[in-house]
Structure 1
Amino acid sequence: MTDKTKTAAALVLEDGRVFRGAAFGATGTTFGEVVFCTAMTGYQETLTDPSYHRQIVVATAPQIGNTGWNDEDDESDRVWVAGYVVRDPARIPSNWRSTKSLDDALVDQGVVGISGIDTRSLTRHLRERGAMRAGVFSGDAVTDAAAMLAKVTESPRMAGAELASQVSTAQTYVVPARGERRFRVAALDLGIKSNTPRMLAARGIETHVLPANSSLDDLLAVEADGVFLSNGPGDPATADHAVGLTQGILERRIPLFGICFGNQILGRALGLGTYKLRYGHRGINIPVIDVATGAVAITAQNHGFALEGEPGKDFDTPYGRATVSHFCPNDGCVEGVAALDVPAFSVQYHPEAAAGPHDAATLFDRFATMMEGGN
């Protein structure tokens, strides 16, 4: 790992706030929506999560990179974050699985970052002002604040951004069931993480992962026992194609399960609206309450948009009744919806975790039960 501690870098926020530090990862310029992630572990999974596409991620944990980078924990085939912001990067990684340092991994993939800034102050600023556009500038790209700010304000906003098609697979691929195959699932790839098909495979489910632009006929051609809507980036208000596919599945009463972006897609298909959260939910320590049971799960989350609705409130849809099934006690945000007259449900969080707690892993069992004909 090369010593970049003397290479100047700056994080410039849309509101004019500037944080100066040192280059980390690749040097140059990058733009995106700056957001903070409260996870204390799992930075490799975070960086390779397609849901973070076009976002500059701030790690609130003070030390990042201690375990280096390995060949096993990627959640996709590349790093998707637009940039990475850390306080104290590890100088020497130490883990038996490590094949390189985090810094080297970022350099290899051209990801521009910054280190040595007060991430606590930055996080407090984002909590007060909200997620916003930003730019990371390092090396020769660091100029005067006014010039850098002008470039930031020219960059695209997250609201109104259609990004799922940019991270989706180009061709259908199949992840086989582990052991005897019980079910076949068609998964619409809006930014799917690698651990999701693995979790399904462990339950005897063969997963056909389809591109985001697949037609309803493409999904039906799989002759699947169920349909899965994955996580993914961008504004759900732009996902009309996925919403239309979901409505076609609901009309045919095929069992359906969605997570994160997929939760917003199902919600829209049922008639709910969406809105942008002030700073979003990103981390692996976020509580969710199941309205029906009162049970609390600690969950992994990554979303900047949410569904409109009230916890526990039933509502009418073209497919019968539905309900807001889960919510976050921190802010009342909708964390799940369920159709009551057709076999469909979704959650805003990540039951596949990676990284994160396994409190919600039983939702995959619920999906399997639904495909068996249960509730």
Structure 2
Amino acid sequence: MIMWDDAKIKDFQETLLTWYDREKRDLPWRRDHEPYHIWVSEIMLQQTQVNTVIPYYERFMDWFPTVESFASAPEERILKAWEGLGYYSRVRNMQKAAKQVVQDYAGKWPQTANELQNLVGIGPYTAGAIASIAFNESVPAVDGNAFRVFSRLFEIEDDIAKPQTRVIFERVIQQVISNERPGDFNQAIMDLGSSYMTAKNPDPEHSPVKRFNQAYLDGKELEFPVKSKKPRPIEMAYVALVIETDKGFLFEKRSSKGMLANLLAFPLLKVDDLKENPNDELLTDELVVKLNQWSQENLNQLLVFSPLEGQMVKHTFTHQKWLIDLFVVKTEAFDLSYFPGEFILEKDFDQIAVPKVQQKIWDRYLSLSSNKF
């Protein structure tokens, strides 16, 4: 890897920022330098495309216009605001961080990247983005776009899947970042990585920085960044229980640990947990017997389930792929004194946060079931 001299660094900065001033995206969180706005947008943009985030961001700001209003909001309300974005631990951590800002910093945000990382859920990238954009600290914001852009500019061959590689990129970017406009520099890199220097089908020929792009000049654009493949998600078999009563559908409050923590959802049972022997294969009739037993033991109510025919629901998380068969029953409402759940009427579904996998289960149920109460 060959670093640039001072003249080339200055040339790059001027070229990049001139392009950014002319072509930068008009995004709602870029209309001021408020750290709260930057923070919310950056957390939302994790794992999610910009166009998807915009309406979520605008609604979030309508519901929680200040860090104080967000810090004091009921958990049910913040989960509802996050519905559809997934990874609900993010918004829970956000509220913890908001409370830190209000309680520990008297509502004033820390102004350096190092201090921002004392807030729950804020890592090096988010801290760099907030510090540079809101407080003009000359610090890199290394995300997927930065990995892609700088690996191509300098033909950096280190594996970006390895955590230690971030330090290499931070050192490189620190040498070329604009000290006068670090926030605009980092945002320009974000825009560059999502336009001319995308992962697939990049357009380096028309890129404003093509003469600095060593990978393009060497005809190796798509060889960068170097990234080892992630292992494929582990497939896990589940059953979802759709229990419909005259008082609504049974929702279970999930455990505070694990997937979908603390969310309300149709009861979801791991098939392996229903087996007496891990190597057993449960046929449908055997599953029904196991589920009937489960209802007696967990609901103090013997329910007789029926399999819902049709394709199973499939939902992929980062490390797991859930394959879900639906089993249904219609019954009268029963006592829930010993079960962590509640009956919810269909008309009230919009009052609760519904994870995507739950929405898939519900859509499948609607498409295949009939004869409701």
Tell me which interval the TM-score lies in, with the shorter structure as reference length.
under 0.3
- Structure with higher Rg: it is 2
Normalised by the size of structure 2, how large is the TM-score?
0.25
Normalised by the size of structure 1, how large is the TM-score?
0.25
Q: Which structure features the higher share of strand residues? A: 1
